[in-house]
Chains A and B, each alone.
Chain A
Amino acid sequence: MAREQPNVGDLLPLLESSDIHQLEEIKGLINEHLSTERGAMLLNGLVDYFLETNSAQAIHILSSVREPHDKHLLDKMNECMTKQACRLPTLTLLGHVVRKQPSWIHKIARYPLLLSLLKCLKTDLDVVVLITGVLVLITLLPMIPQAGKQHLYEFFDIFGRLASWNLKNPGHISEVYLIHLHASIYSLFHRLYGMYPCNFVSYLRSHYNMKENVDTFEEVVKPMLEHVRIHPELVTGTKDQELDPTRWKKFEIHDIVIECAKVSLDPKEASCEEGYAPMPGNFYPHLELRPQESVSSPYTDFHNSYGSSSSTPFSTPRQPLPPPLSLASLPGTQSLYRSPQTSRSPNSSCELDTTCGVKELWSPSSLCGMATPPSSSGMSPNPELSHSASHLPGHRVHSTSGGKGTPASSTPATSSPPHTLSDFPIIPLLSNTTSPPQKDDHPVEAAKPSLVKQEPIRDSEKGGEVINRDVGGGETISMTLSVFMKEQELQQRTEREETAISEELLKITKDKRDLAGVRGFDSPFYRTTETLTGTQEKPLPNLPLGGPMPPRDPHHAVSTSDNELENAQGGIGGGGDSSTGLALDQSWSIEPVCPFSPIQHPLHQSLSALEDEVAKFGGLFSPSHPMKKPSLPYEALFDLALPRAASLFVGRRTSEARGRAALEKLCQRQEGLEDREEEGKGIVSASPLEVLDHLVQQGSDTHDKVLKRLPLPSKSADWTHFGGSAPLDELHTLRSQLLLLHSQLLYERYKREQHAVRNRRLLRRVINATALEEQNNAMKDQLNLQSVDVVTLKESLQVEQQRCRQLWDDRETVVTRLHSQVRQLQQGRDDYYTKNQELQSQLNEYQKKMNDLEADLQRANNKVCHTGHLLNQMTIKLSTSESTQQQMSFLNKQLLLLGEAHKLDVLQQQHTGSDNTKEAQMVQVSWGKEVERLRQSLLQQGQKLEAAQQRVGELETHLTKKEHLIVEQKKFLEDVKGQAKGELQASESRYQAQRRVTQLLQTELLHLYSRLEMEGHTCPTTASAAGGSSTDPGPPIDSSIMEPDGSVTLGTNEWSDDRRPSQSPRGNGSTLLPGKPKANNSPKALPVNSASSTQDIPPPLLVEPSFSCPHAPLATPMPPDAAPLTVGSYPSANSFLGMRARELFRNKSESQCDEEPPPPHLAGLSQGLKTELCVEPLFPPLGNALTCPVPASILGAPLTVPAKEHLPETRQRAIKQESPRRKMGGARGGGAAAASAAQPRQQQQFRIMDYNETQQEHS
């Protein structure tokens, strides 16, 4: 290391080596060293080296320093900042570093470098330093948004200081600087307002409230404020909020830049992104025409305005000429579009007015009064005056060209390849003036190299050729033009390096002038020659004009050459190109006019005129150069991205392909040229910007050289001519201006890069959107296809349906046909069926018939058999009949014989008598009578029968009634029996008690007797006396009773034994059913009855008592009473009791009796017929006897319920009279017999009744 260290240090000067290989080697070495070493030595050395030499290589290395060295670098720079002399280069270096955007740049806020920068900005008085520093600061701000907030008020203070500087001008610097300063302040204002609106506005409020600052506000800040819209943050945000680090996190650096641009109303500054960028009305057509180029549009518009502004004053007569519409409608590339627009825009005068008006309205230059000193600031400040910082590069280019471009009057730029930066001694020779054949080639060549040049600018990554192709052969004439200009500038610079060339240039211009026709060309060319020399030596008032002039010549040259070029292009590019070429031609052809006015009245030019000029330059040069660069590469991409332009793109590809051949040729040729010209540098890839930078540097270098070389008188002459300030001062001013311009250019370039970054991103989005749109379209197409498919399918479906329907119909018809056939067949089958059935039935019939016939046959056979049998019989009968015939004949014979005998007998009878007939007649009559009588009797009998039947019915009812009665009586009897039983039990118990009492008494008696006897035996008298005294009344009674009692006691035992059986029959007799006594009586009564018929009645009466029981003595007193009773009662059998008794007992007894003699029916009937009339009267007494209880009441019995009560009564009586009646039983039978005898008719009647009853019973 230690060894190498000096080596590396030594290497540094080698960086300036012109040998590229060596340069590369050294660079590699240094980088390697930096990457390996940590120390700050080399870096410090590098910085020092840079400060000394301002070496571009050193910048390159320093700006790409890596992470660990940042600290050393920043420290070193901080260190350098403290030194007044190093400040500017340090700031420049810082600007380079910052613009490089190294990854560590955010750290800068932590280093003292920032503080020292701010301090420097606050304190320094050198305007160049300030502007550079401000630009650096502006660039730096978006990179450290939240880091910057610590120093926010320092920023504001800086702004305030610089803004007031403008007015107060404390450093007493020239106004040229002020303009620069103003532009940078304007940028700073935008940046601060865009980033920290609230804070900034509040700062403004507080700062410009102070009286001393009011002027500054009115003059400087207010116009700036007029060009910003209200920041949305002012509405929604707060001071703290906008300082919030989170707010910045989502933003990238370019986002912040765009954010700041958004709030600007300045059309140059503002971005029309998001749709709220301010757009003057005249821009809209363009916007409409290419809305996709929104990003680039400001620049093109910018173009237009310049174009218009430059051309309009002179193009008025040409207004009807241009074919803008046709051009606009013509399909062409964007660039083609644009170029016509530049030419077209002048057509609309209003556009001019508006643009001019706008310019005048808002250009700070007018406010700043920048137009005042045309002498000194005439040229360079103009762009700054008229426009915002965005114009600066263009103007700078212009100004540089102006400054250095005076040699451009030698316009042979077309032939000079862009990369041959330094030495092109021969190229000017190859200018368009050289030879017509060359011209033919050159324009084309010029176009191509320009494109080649542009490649690296557009896209450093892309290969130049590729983009070349993309851009297309006849792509942009305007571009080619601008490139021409640039080349010319470059060439001018190169030419400037060699003074000898100027002479040639002069020649050329003269030639040109000759070519172009004299008119006023001399002066410009003259001037230009002057400027070529003079601008660089002394600041002439012509200088600004001289700046414009030199390009004019080339323009003219170009325009002239363009005609040829167009011709050539007409072959290449096609119709569209020719028209544009025409338009361009016209514009160019007129342009030469414009220089005159500034030239002729350089000093009297109004501000607007100046602006016009500047605008013209901007339109012609600056815009085309720096603005196109960003826009162009994307246009190609837009073409790719946007389906709308796809067809155009294809078309362009074809033209491009055509152009490529020419291009290759050109390249080859150029290479050949290069080979010819160059000493061996093969690198073509240097970017034009770098070239520009180099140019600026080298221009300054050469300028120094030239300055030294130039003869002083010329200088003085110039100066005296203009009466300007000291040349050295002016020189310094110019140099610093150059520096400022460079730095501003760098700043603008940086901005542009930011835009580029953003554009790339937006483009990606556009591409995405386009892709989506494409996809959408594709899908739509697919949809359409599918719908078409669907339609076709539907159609086919319909067809199929139709076919199907047809098939169906066919099928239907077939089916119906088949159905009908089937029906027919069925019918046929049915017919056959019926026939079959008929036949079957016939068959059956026949079979039946057959059967019948068979049966008939059988029958016939039977008959035959039968008849045979009969025949046999008949034969037998015949034989018998024959025999009987024989007998008959025999009998006939006998009959004859008997007849004869009969005759003989008749004869005898006639003789005997004829009375028999009478007798027979009488007998017959008697028979008849007899029959008659019998019939009558039959009738009678029938009637009797009926009567008897009636009677039977009546008797039946009687019988049921009787049965009822009997049941009732049975119940009653039961009742009575129970009652009697109860009573009887009571009496029984009483009796028992009596007996007990009696027994007791007897025992007592016996006891007494025994005592008495005992006493009597002992002392009879006394005893008797005593007994008499004591039991006197008793003994006689006792004795009297005792006698019988003794028997009785015995008897009682017997009697009680006897009496019970005897009593029970009696009780039975009373209680039992009436049938029972009869049963008892009947055996007795029967003999009596039988006897009664034969015997007399009385005897039984006498006999009866003899029948009486052994206990007759007890009953003896009764018979005498009973006998008369019964006797007396019995005859009165008609009385109730008798009747009743008879009724009760008659049924069985008498019926039994009656049954014995069965009466003859016929006799009974005849008797009944006789007694018929007597039957009726007989009934009532009987009914009375049955139902009427009147006789009972006569008897006097107390009867409450006669039907029930009289019976017990009678029974009681019957019980009382029982014994006598029993005795009279036989007599009663006799009595009955007597009664029957007495009333035979009644008896007969009864008999009939009885018969009926018995009949019933039997039945």
Chain B
Amino acid sequence: MAEDPQRNFRSAYYEKVGFRGVEEKKSLEILLKDNPLDVEKLSTFSQRFPLPSMYRIHVWKVLLGILPPHNDSHSLVGGYRREQYQDVLEALKVMRFVHMATPQTQVYLRMFQLESQVLPRRSDTLPPDEEDEDFLSIARAMEEIVEDPMDCYWLIKSFVNQFNNKFGDSIPHLPKSLEHYLSVEEPRLLNHLKNTGALAMLPYSLWFRRCFAGCLPESSLQRVWDKVISGSCKILVFVAMEILLSYKIMVMGNSRPEGVVNILCNMPQENTDAIVTKAIDLWHKYCGTPMHSV
């Protein structure tokens, strides 16, 4: 990748002066030109660099398997996806699970439920449980990111599925990991949290189940999700830690665990980009720059 002759010779200096992503776009384009797309490479790229937003959806689709690696079959597969989406949506409509007024996220949820064969009967419709809430929040975030409902649905579905399949086992360990890294980075804060008992009450579900959907603004969130989609759930730990570090003073000032949780749940949306950048740096620092790692 680096040896590519088409790359700008200045690329070596761009990074020095702080222009990231100038060359990444080009290399990504080169990557995307391959006929059978190299998913591995794409995921590595996504792990190492932030994705340009114009290619983000496409890359996500490829990474999440919505589109096959072969460019030739994209149209065909896209057709299939659309048909499937329409079929399912039609069925739901026919079955009157959804109607015109149903919010889109609800629709996505129903569709997801339908496809996961967990759609409750219409008569005994239950209020959405925890899992549904996670889905809904992710869906809400995704809805903001993606315009096309079909793509949105597929991305939500694939994201949730992949997340659950891939990281379902490691998610319960993430709080421990957070604690560890926090002890390395800021033992005082950890002690404070431990002493106040807030450590156990931190919004883990918001962080690790919803992948910060609803916590961070979408512009920042998609950068986190880039990493998640490309195969790393550790980034969630670092984002969480960075949030803790960023609001350390407030957290330290608050001895009540509820207050702490409140602060963290309702954090302001201003400097999230910086938080994410720092988190990614930290992540790179601790986990190294991933080449083909998961």
On whether the beta carbons of B70 and A987 are closer than 8 Å, the reply is: no
User: In the complex, which residues of chain B have a beta carbon less than 8 angstroms from the beta carbon of A992?
Assistant: 115
The docked-state distance in angstroms from the alpha carbon of A405 to that of B20 is 154
Residue of B nearest to A989 (CB): B84
Whether A978 pairs with B95 at a CB distance below 8 angstroms is no
Q: Does B165 contact A (CB under 8 A)?
A: no
Which of A982, A994, A1001, A1004 meets B70, CB within 8 Å? A982
Give which listed residue, A982, A990, A1000, A1004, contacts B84 with CB less than 8 A.
A990
In this complex, the interface size class of chain B, counting residues with CB under 8 Å from chain A, is 20 to 34
User: Judging by beta carbons under 8 Å apart, are A982 and B69 in contact?
Assistant: yes
Assess whether A762 is interfacial by the CB under 8 Å rule.
no
* CB neighbours of A1001 from chain B (8 A): 91, 94-95
CB pair B68 A996 closer than 8 Å: no
Q: Is the CB of A983 within 8 A of B77?
A: yes
Which one of B36, B73, B91 lies within 8 Å of A1000 (CB-CB)?
Answer: B91
| B88, A978: Cβ atoms closer than 8 Å | no
Give the residues in chain A near B192, CB-CB below 8 Å.
none
Which residue of A is nearest B77, CB measured? A986
What residue of chain A has the Cβ atom nearest to residue B117's Cβ?
A996
**B-chain residues with CB within 8 Å of residue A1118 when the two chains form the complex:** none
* Shortest distance from the beta carbon of A477 to any chain B beta carbon, whole Å: 135
A983-B114 CB under 8 A given contacts A990-B80, A997-B88, A1000-B91: no
B72 at the interface (CB under 8 A from A): yes
Q: Chain B residues with Cβ under 8 A from A981's Cβ?
A: 68
Question: Given A979-B68, A979-B72, are A987 and B87 neighbors across the interface (CB < 8 Å)?
Answer: no
- By a CB distance below 8 angstroms, the chain A residues around B117 are 996, 999
Interfacial chain A residues near B200, Cβ < 8 Å: none
Chain B contacts with A in 45-80, Cβ cutoff 8 A: 65, 68-70, 72-73, 76-77, 80
Across the interface, do A978 and B77 meet the contact criterion of CB distance under 8 Å? no
Is B119 in contact with A997, judged by CB distance below 8 angstroms? Answer: no
Residues in B neighbouring A982, C-beta threshold 8 A: 68-70, 73, 77
Residue-wise interface mask of B (134-175) relative to A, using a CB-CB cutoff of 8 A (1 in contact, 0 not): 000000000000000000000000000000000000000000
The contact of A996 among B76, B80, B115, B121, by CB within 8 Å, is B115
Interface residues in A984-1031 by Cβ distance below 8 A to B read 985-987, 989-990, 992-994, 996-997, 999-1001, 1003-1004, 1007
- With A975-B36, A978-B36, A1001-B94 as contacts: A983 and B73 at CB distance below 8 Å: yes
CA distance A177 to B88 in the complex (A): 185
Q: Which residues of A contact B80 (CB under 8 A)?
A: 983, 986-987, 989-990
**Hey, which chain B residues are within 8 Å of A993, CB to CB?**
84, 87-88, 114-115
Task: Give every chain B residue within 8 A of A979 (Cβ-Cβ).
Answer: 36, 68, 70, 72-73
Residues from chain A with a CB closer than 8 A to the CB of B115 are: 992-993, 996
Q: In the bound complex, what is the Cα–Cα distance between A1007 and B95 (angstroms)? A: 11
Complex: A996 Cα to B90 Cα, angstroms = 12
Q: 1/0 per residue A155-171: CB within 8 Å of B? A: 00000000000000000
Given contacts A996-B115, A997-B91, A1004-B95, contact A978 B69 (CB under 8 A): yes
Verify B68–A983 contact, CB threshold 8 A.
yes
A411 to chain B, nearest CB (A): 148
Q: Which residues of B contact A996 (CB under 8 A)?
A: 88, 114-115, 117
The reply on B81 being an interface residue by CB < 8 A is yes
B29 close to A (CB within 8 Å): no
**B83 contacts the other chain (CB 8 A):** yes
Check B87 against A997 for contact (C-beta < 8 Å). yes
Residue of A nearest to B76 (CB): A983
Which residues in chain A, 408-423, are within 8 Å of chain B measured between CB atoms? none
By beta carbon, the residue of chain B nearest A991 is B84
Q: CA separation between A989 and B69, bound complex, in Å?
A: 16
B123 to chain A, nearest CB (A): 8
Bound CA span A1003–B90, Å: 16
Task: Give B198-241 as 1s and 0s: 1 = Cβ < 8 Å from A's Cβ atoms.
Answer: 00000000000000000000000000000000000000000000
Q: How far is the CA of A993 from the CA of B114 in the complex (A)?
A: 8
- Closest B residue by C-beta to A982: B68
Nearest-neighbour CB distance to chain A for B113, whole angstroms, equals: 10
CA distance A982 to B72 in the complex (A): 11
> Is A1000 touching B70 in the complex (CB atoms < 8 A)?
no
Cα of A1004 to Cα of B119 in the assembled complex, Å: 12
Whether B81 lies near A986 (C-beta < 8 A) is: yes
- Minimal beta-carbon separation of A950 from chain B (angstroms): 42
Candidates A978, A985, A987, A997; contact of B114 at CB < 8 Å: A997
Chain B: CB-nearest residue to A975: B36
Alpha-carbon distance between A668 and B69 when the two chains are bound, in angstroms: 173
Residues of chain A within 8 A of B83, CB atoms compared? 990
Residue of B nearest to A976 (CB): B70
Query: Which chain A residue lies CB-closest to B119?
Result: A1000
A159–chain B nearest beta-carbon distance, Å: 118
Query: Could you tell me the distance between the alpha carbons of A975 and B69 in the complex, rounded to whole angstroms?
Result: 10
Contacts of B119 in A (CB 8 A): 1000
Docked complex Cα distance between A994 and B115 (Å): 9
Can you name the residue of chain A whose Cβ is closest to the Cβ of B68? A982
CA distance A983 to B65 in the complex (A): 11
Q: Of B72, B88, B121, which one neighbours A1007 at CB under 8 angstroms?
A: B121
Instruction: Return chain A residues, CB-CB under 8 Å to B95.
Output: 1000-1001, 1004
Q: Which residues of A contact B72 (CB under 8 A)?
A: 979
CB-CB nearest in chain A for B122: A1004
**Assembled-state Cα–Cα distance A989/B119 (Å):** 17
In the bound complex, CA of A981 to CA of B73 (Å): 10
Cα separation A993 to B87 with both chains bound (whole Å): 8
How near does chain B come to A25, taking the closest CB pair, in angstroms? 138
A69 CA to B179 CA in the complex, in Å? 132
Q: A1004: which B residues are within 8 A, CB to CB?
A: 95
Within 8 A of A (CB), among B1-60: 36
Once the chains are docked, how many angstroms separate the CA of A1000 from the CA of B114?
A: 8
What are the residues of chain A within 8 A of B88 when measuring CB–CB? Answer: 993, 996-997
Closest residue of chain B to A994 (Cβ to Cβ) is: B87
Kindly list chain B residues whose C-beta atoms are within 8 Å of the C-beta of A989.
Answer: 80, 84
Among the interface residues A981, A985, A986, A994, which one has the most CB atoms of the partner chain B within 10 A? A986
| B96 nearest CB neighbor, chain A only | A1004
**Considering the complex, which residues of chain B in the window 225-282 have a beta carbon less than 8 Å from any beta carbon of chain A?**
none
The minimal Cβ–Cβ distance linking B218 to chain A, given in whole angstroms, is 27
Question: In the complex, what residue of chain B is closest to A993 when comparing beta carbons?
Answer: B84
B79 to nearest A CB, angstroms? 9
Q: Which residues of A contact B94 (CB under 8 A)?
A: 1001
Q: Could you tell me the distance between the alpha carbons of A1004 and B77 in the complex, rounded to whole angstroms?
A: 29
**What is the bound-complex CA distance between A1007 and B94, given in angstroms?**
14
CA A273 to CA B32, docked complex, whole Å: 134
Q: How far apart sit A40 and B36, CA to CA, in the bound complex (Å)?
A: 160
Mask, B97-126, CB within 8 Å of A = 1, is: 000000000000000001101010100000
Please tell me which one of the listed residues B68, B69, B87 contacts residue A986 in the complex, with CB atoms under 8 A apart: B68
Q: Whole-angstrom distance between the alpha carbons of A911 and B40 in the complex?
A: 110
Residues of A within 8 A of B36 (CB): 975, 978-979
- Which residue, B84, B114, B117, has most C-beta atoms of chain A within 10 A? B84
A982–B91 Cα gap in the complex (Å)? 25
Closest to B157 in A: A989
Chain B residue nearest to A1007 (CB atoms) is B121
How far, in Å, is B74 (CB) from chain A's closest CB? 9
Which A residues lie within 8 Å of B90 (CB)? 997
* Nearest CB of chain B from residue A1003's CB, rounded to whole Å: 8
Residues of B within 8 A of A997 (CB): 87-88, 90-91, 114
Question: In the complex, which residues 1043-1085 of chain A have their Cβ closer than 8 Å to any Cβ of chain B?
Answer: none
Distance between A1163 CB and nearest chain B CB, rounded to angstroms: 54
Query: Ordered nearest first, which 9 A-B pairs have the shortest CB separation?
Result: A982-B68, A997-B91, A986-B80, A990-B84, A986-B77, A979-B70, A993-B84, A990-B80, A983-B73
The 8 sampled A-B contact pairs (Cβ below 8 Å) are A978-B69, A978-B70, A983-B77, A986-B68, A986-B73, A990-B81, A1000-B91, A1000-B114
A978-B69, A994-B84 given. 4 additional CB < 8 A pairs? A990-B84, A990-B87, A992-B115, A1001-B95
- Measuring CB to CB, which residues of chain B are less than 8 angstroms from any residue of chain A? 36, 65, 68-70, 72-73, 76-77, 80-81, 83-84, 87-88, 90-91, 94-95, 114-115, 117, 119, 121
